[in-house]
Amino acid sequence: MMGKLIRVLIVDDHPMARQGIREILKTDQSFYIVGEVATGKEVSAKVAELMPDLILMDIHLPDVSGLEVTRQIKATYPYVKIVVVTVSDDFTNLFEAIKNGAQGYLLKTVTNDSWITYLKAVVAGQAPISKRLAEEMLKEFTSHQERFEVEGDVLSKREREILTWVAQGYTNRDISLGLEISEYTVKNHLKNLFQKLHLNNRVQLAKYAYEKGYVKGDE
């Protein structure tokens, strides 16, 4: 029996790009496209009307930057997952999108199968941080002279271990093998981390880990 459909809103000003995304999503019955938008100004109204689970957001929109739209949507609808879709591997923009609340990014040049696997993982909250994103976060937060102190008793030793693994881009399976615990145990620790830190996804966990100094440059 098919599970809950993933309601998708496509935001892209190029008709051919929207068609390409439609064709990819149609290869898997888990996805249901609820609407398409060509400008940034339309997005908020469409989200309110259609209540998507997932937004595929082009960075370069004709009126408002996709980065700004991402920030606005996440401020109002924090539970909506946003994945930035772009033709350019410009990591400055991609990193800004993550800082504005996006859960991840996809290059339009990657294979269709990669899209489906990745988007399902994002919706399930299980998409690992890319190694490159982990490196950029490390650079960003270790470049500041003023460093945050790691909080003493907020997290258990095991939670701190799992937090650092997540921040470095490891999957639940990687963590379970590395720490010699079950994936079920890893998932439970992650639930506790999300609750204790009032965070919603792995990207936010990674950002927190680097900001607070759980992961340092010599690791």
In the chain, domain spans: 6-127, 134-211
Cα 42 from Cα 161, distance rounded (Å)? 42
What confidence score (pLDDT) does residue 11 get?
97
Distances in Å between the Cα of 45 and the Cα atoms of 76, 82, 91, 174 are: 12, 16, 29, 40
Supply φ then ψ for residue 4, to 5 degrees.
Answer: -65, 135
Give me 91's structure tokens. 């990591």
Instruction: For the chain, 219 residues long, give each residue's pLDDT as a single digit of tens.
Output: 346 899 999 999 999 999 999 999 999 999 999 999 999 999 999 999 999 999 999 988 999 999 999 999 988 888 899 999 887 667 777 778 888 888 888 887 777 778 898 899 888 877 777 777 777 777 776 655 344 444 445 788 899 999 999 999 899 999 999 999 998 899 889 988 988 888 878 888 888 888 888 887 554
Give the CATH superfamily of 6-127.
Response regulator (3.40.50.2300)
User: What is the DSSP secondary-structure string of the chain?
Assistant: -----EEEEEE-S-HHHHHHHHHHHTTSTTEEEEEEESSGGGHHHHHHHH--SEEEEES--SSS-HHHHHHHHHHH-TTSEEEEEES---HHHHHHHHHTT--EEEETTS-HHHHHHHHHHHHTT-PPPPHHHHHHHHHHHHS-SS-PPPPSSSS-HHHHHHHHHHHTT--HHHHHHHHT--HHHHHHHHHHHHHHHT--SHHHHHHHHHHTTSS-TT-
Same fold, 6-127 and 134-211: yes
What confidence score (pLDDT) does residue 142 get?
61
Give the CATH superfamily of 134-211.
Response regulator (3.40.50.2300)
Supply φ then ψ for residue 10, to 5 degrees.
Answer: -100, 125
What confidence score (pLDDT) does residue 54 get?
96
